[in-house]
Amino acid sequence: MNMERKVEIPDGIQIELDNFKVKVTGSKGNLEKDFASPLFRKDIIMKKEDNRISISTESKRKKVKAMLGTIEAHILNMIKGVTEGYTVKLKIVYMHFPFTVKISGKEVSVNNFLGEKTPRKTKIIGDCKIEVKGDEITVTGISKDDVGQTSANLERTTWIRSRDRRIFQDGIFRLK
């Protein structure tokens, strides 16, 4: 039983395929991802044919078939990232103590959160750009994984423990 997935390569996008390493280049930059895994290396075949990438398998295992869809989705996300990019908007909300968000290099610090003296810090993943305007934070980048993880890190930085969330509604929350 042969299963195959195909990804069309749009105009203006160059894709290099070296074994299981995929490099996508577009107008916004380039992304590189290695899909090699000892669990699937023997079962999955990736080929570049004209203006499409073919991902196929002869295996009957469900996990291998599921991996075809995963690889296809990641390649489509890489193509969208180098053409359009990804944006996540977050909102700064505080009821008790006004806190500030400062960016210094590859680190974001949240000062005066719930009146704490020490700042809470988190890292910016990959080549994401963070912009703070008033009570809105915008995270932009070409990698969906990096933008999502950076915004999740910002949310997680202001996570409140051992307090009633109905009363202490302070934090950084994802809007879009």
Domains (range + CATH), the chain: 3-83 (3.90.930.12), 86-174 (3.90.930.12)
pTM of whole model > 0.75? yes
Query: Cβ(77)–Cβ(31) under 8 Å?
Result: no
Q: What is the pLDDT of residue 1?
A: 55
* Separation of alpha carbons 22 and 156, rounded Å: 31
Q: What is the pLDDT of residue 160?
A: 80
Residue entry with tokens 């105009």: 11
Give 66-71 contacts, CB < 8 A, sequence gap 24+: 67/37, 67/40, 68/3, 68/4, 68/5, 68/44, 69/5, 71/5, 71/35, 71/44, 71/46
CB atoms within 10 A of CB 31: 24
The string of pLDDT tens digits covering residues 155-164 is: 999 888 887 7
Which contiguous run of DSSP H or E holds residue 169?
Answer: none
The string of pLDDT tens digits covering residues 112-156 is: 888 889 999 999 999 999 999 999 999 999 999 999 999 999 999
